[in-house]
């Protein structure tokens, strides 16, 4: 899988620069590919941090050449509405709202918005006013936090 290969190459670069690799999105397209890398730091991420990481990652990708086609590299902060890539990240936000798109439906739904209730091993449970949904991380196509502002979902 391309994301695992990219993670193996990129992780040490980001760590050496003093940041955490939050996740990688690899999206092949007809005209090339988009590689979006999310970096994080307990004191936040600046535009300069993203630029520094982008320069270093570009240099390593040139040497390693894991993507044979043309590609666009983006380096970004995960933001408040961050994408959740694994069960460990879900567990950091128990009690928070998330929006999840599943590959296979659970309780008749593939798109679920709810509160992260629990994470046990690779099983995640979300609850909302109508139902409780339990699914494994491998069933998640995309998941993103839904920040609450004064109790209002944006």
Q: Which domains does the chain have, with CATH numbers?
A: 2-76 (3.30.300.70), 87-153 (2.30.30.180)
Amino acid 4: pLDDT: 87
Amino acid 18: pLDDT: 97
Amino acid 1: pLDDT: 65
Amino acid 151: pLDDT: 57
Nearest to residue 85, comparing CAs of 20, 152, 150, 151? 20
Q: Which residues contact 89 (CB under 8 A, 6 or more apart)?
A: 22, 23, 82
- State both tokens at 54: 């982008």
Amino acid 154: pLDDT: 53
Amino acid 3: pLDDT: 82
Amino acid 124: pLDDT: 98
Amino acid 59: pLDDT: 95
Going 128 to 96 to 146 to 39, the CA torsion angle's sign is: negative
pLDDT < 70: residue spans in the chain = 1, 150-154
């Amino acid at each position: 899988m391309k994301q695992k290969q990219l993670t193996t190459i990129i992780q040490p670069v980001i760590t050496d620069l003093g940041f955490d690799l939050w996740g990688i999105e690899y999206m092949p397209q007809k005209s090339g590919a988009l590689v979006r890398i999310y970096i994080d730091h307990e004191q936040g991420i600046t535009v300069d941090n993203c630029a520094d990481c982008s320069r270093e990652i570009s240099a390593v990708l040139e040497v390693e050449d894991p993507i044979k086609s043309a590609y666009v590299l983006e380096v970004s902060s995960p933001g408040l509405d961050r994408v959740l890539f694994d069960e460990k990240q879900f567990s950091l936000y128990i009690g928070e709202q998330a929006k999840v798109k599943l590959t296979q439906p659970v309780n008749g739904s593939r798109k679920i918005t709810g509160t992260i209730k629990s994470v046990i091993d690779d099983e995640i449970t979300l609850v909302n006013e109508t139902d409780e949904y339990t699914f494994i991380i491998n069933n998640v196509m995309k998941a993103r936090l839904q920040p609450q502002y004064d109790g209002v979902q944006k």
